[in-house]
Amino acid sequence: MPPAMAAPRKSSSPPPRRLFGTDGVRGVANVHPMTAEMALQLGRALAFVMRAGPHRHRVVIGKDTRLSGYMLETAIASGICSMGVDVMLTGPLPTPGLAFITQSMRADAGVVISASHNPYQDNGIKFFSRDGFKLPDETELAIERLVLDGAADAGARAFRALRPTATRIGKAKRVDDAIGRYVVFLKSLFPRDLTLDGLTVVVDCGHGAAYHVAPAVFEELGARVVTLNASPDGKNINRRCGAVHPEGMARAIRRAGAQLGLALDGDADRVILADERGQIVDGDAIMALVGRALLGRGALAKRTLVATVMSNLGLERALRPLGGRVVRTAVGDRYVVEAMRAHGYNFGGEQSGHLVFLDHVTTGDGVAAALNVLAVMIREGRPLSELATCFDPVPQVLLNVPVREKRSLAELPGVLRAVAAVERRLGKEGRVLVRASGTEATLRVLVEGPDRARIRADAASIAEEIRRALG
């Protein structure tokens, strides 16, 4: 990483948003807000807020394999060029690859056009700063205000008035070697004293952005690679494959006699693994086994792993015997990264498979995560099925309760009483979490405890109180 990085954001509840969610702007392509008109305006606003100093500014744009990526890429590039900023187009590239290219080419910002694990009809836009990290909340909100408010302050007037002409208009060009640069970078993360020779790895690309990158990395490190779902046609991304549907990858492991399988989502920032028996290993189990390995080598900064409130209590129990601890954040890999940067931690992630190795990458990276697991397997000479036994999940029940409106729990005394009753009964043997979805009119109720039948009843009782108040 470069010696100078932007200061980490303060970890706090973000203010209300109308465009940006926890991971950029997302929706059905060609329906507000994911229209060409909005993409053009977002490009203009991004270019405006990141202009500083007299040098010629540059923004890198990457995308996944969705059909609508062509439309949005052209629109956002036009908006950026209209503000006198140059554009570099990488074509299909994983989100972490775009973050790496933005940083390594010293661009002023990066743009990823992807809806991650969503179906092909959806798309999204997320922004990265010059250091490869996602834009701070306050910068996203500044972009949002410029696009939506039409405010009369001096900044908004300057934004609307900025119309470079003649040679000051930006230009766009292709970065033809972006994939090669990123492959070389990923290979450099694998320890030089180790090799994948003799191993078979199943790689399910999900017809997504990593369809060139992921197979190449494992092949060039010596593995025999069985590649699945690497023929994108614009419409088949995530369709019954990849991290959303890893069962096909698991079956292929058994057929090929592979030692590991990995299934990536559409933009390859998260991964689901399966062991040599074809058994799925989720993000919590991966964090547990890698965290223990880092603790054993004295390489886990401050002996602390960062996870979200959704991760299982079994994670703490896996690390505690080795003197490790878990710090929890709000849901979203950006909040995991916030906490890591703010407090000097170097490893964390989400149950869903977003795993961040901050010594090397700036965001979740599915291929980097798989390489780290392979390194642990080789160093310890143990299969993944055996390594994963260090994680013993506490029984967990998660209910999604549709509501007519999202309100603070402080305004729902009946729900608070129901939660408190369950917490008293569980004591230190479990926990309760009630949180609003960031994208839907839904409250999520999570209960963990030793007795699955009992926690199912506990979760149902809390859900019923929510329905009485907000259903």
Checking if the pLDDT of 155 tops 80, the result is no
* CA–CA distances in Å: residue 421 to residues 174, 237, 377, 465: 60, 44, 43, 12
Contact 275, 388 (CB under 8 A): yes
Across-strand partners of 28?
122
The band of 465, judged by pLDDT with boundaries at 50, 70 and 90, is very high
The band of 8, judged by pLDDT with boundaries at 50, 70 and 90, is very low
Helix (H) or strand (E) holding 347: strand 347-349
Percent over 90 (pLDDT), the chain: 86
> Looking at 161-270, which runs of residues are DSSP E strands?
172-174, 200-204, 224-228, 260-264
pLDDT tens-digit readout, 285-330 = 999 999 999 999 999 999 999 999 999 999 999 999 999 999 999 9
Of 137 and 303, which is predicted with more confidence?
303
CATH number of 25-176: 3.40.120.10
Question: What distance in Å separates the CA atoms of residue 206 and residue 402, rounded to the nearest whole number?
Answer: 30
Phi, psi of 27 (to 5 degrees): 175, -170
CA nearest neighbour of 160 among 46, 44, 53: 44
What class does CATH assign to 396-470? Answer: alpha beta
Helix, strand and coil content of the chain, in percent to the nearest 5, comes to: 40, 20, 40
Question: What distance in Å separates the CA atoms of residue 335 and residue 237, rounded to the nearest whole number?
Answer: 27
pLDDT tens-digit readout, 87-134 = 999 999 999 999 999 999 999 999 999 999 999 999 999 999 999 999
Contact 54, 91 (CB under 8 A): no
Q: What pTM was estimated for this model as a whole?
A: 0.90
Looking at 27-41, 338-352, 399-413, which range is the least confident one? Answer: 399-413
Average pLDDT, the chain: 93
| Residue found by looking up tokens 């109180």 in the block | 465
**In the predicted model, what is the mean pLDDT of residues 172-180?**
97
DSSP 45-77: HHHHHH--SSSPPEEEEEE-S-TTHHHHHHHHH
Of 355 and 153, which is predicted with more confidence?
355
CATH number of 181-390: 3.40.120.10
Contact 325, 301 (CB under 8 A): no
* CA–CA distances in Å: residue 26 to residues 59, 113, 338, 345: 20, 9, 21, 30
* Residues carrying an active site annotation: 116
Coil, helix or strand at residue 176: coil
For the chain, the residue count is 471
* CA–CA distances in Å: residue 349 to residues 259, 288, 331: 23, 11, 10
Question: What distance in Å separates the CA atoms of residue 317 and residue 313, rounded to the nearest whole number?
Answer: 7
Checking if the pLDDT of 4 tops 50, the result is no
Checking if the pLDDT of 9 tops 70, the result is no
Determine the pLDDT at residue 376.
98
Percent over 70 (pLDDT), the chain: 95
* CA–CA distances in Å: residue 456 to residues 1, 277, 412: 46, 30, 21
DSSP 362-402: SS--HHHHHHHHHHHHHHHT--HHHHGGG--PPPEEEEEEE
Checking if the pLDDT of 13 tops 70, the result is no
- Cβ-proximal residues to 103 (8 Å cutoff; 6+ apart), any chain: 1, 2, 130, 131, 132, 362
The band of 150, judged by pLDDT with boundaries at 50, 70 and 90, is low
Question: What distance in Å separates the CA atoms of residue 165 and residue 92, rounded to the nearest whole number?
Answer: 31
Question: What distance in Å separates the CA atoms of residue 18 and residue 11, rounded to the nearest whole number?
Answer: 20
Looking at 4-13, 182-191, 259-268, 353-362, which range is the least confident one? Answer: 4-13
Contact 85, 130 (CB under 8 A): no
Question: What distance in Å separates the CA atoms of residue 162 and residue 165, rounded to the nearest whole number?
Answer: 10
For the chain, the structural domain boundaries read: 25-176, 181-390, 396-470
Question: What distance in Å separates the CA atoms of residue 104 and residue 132, rounded to the nearest whole number?
Answer: 9
181-390 and 396-470, same CATH topology? no
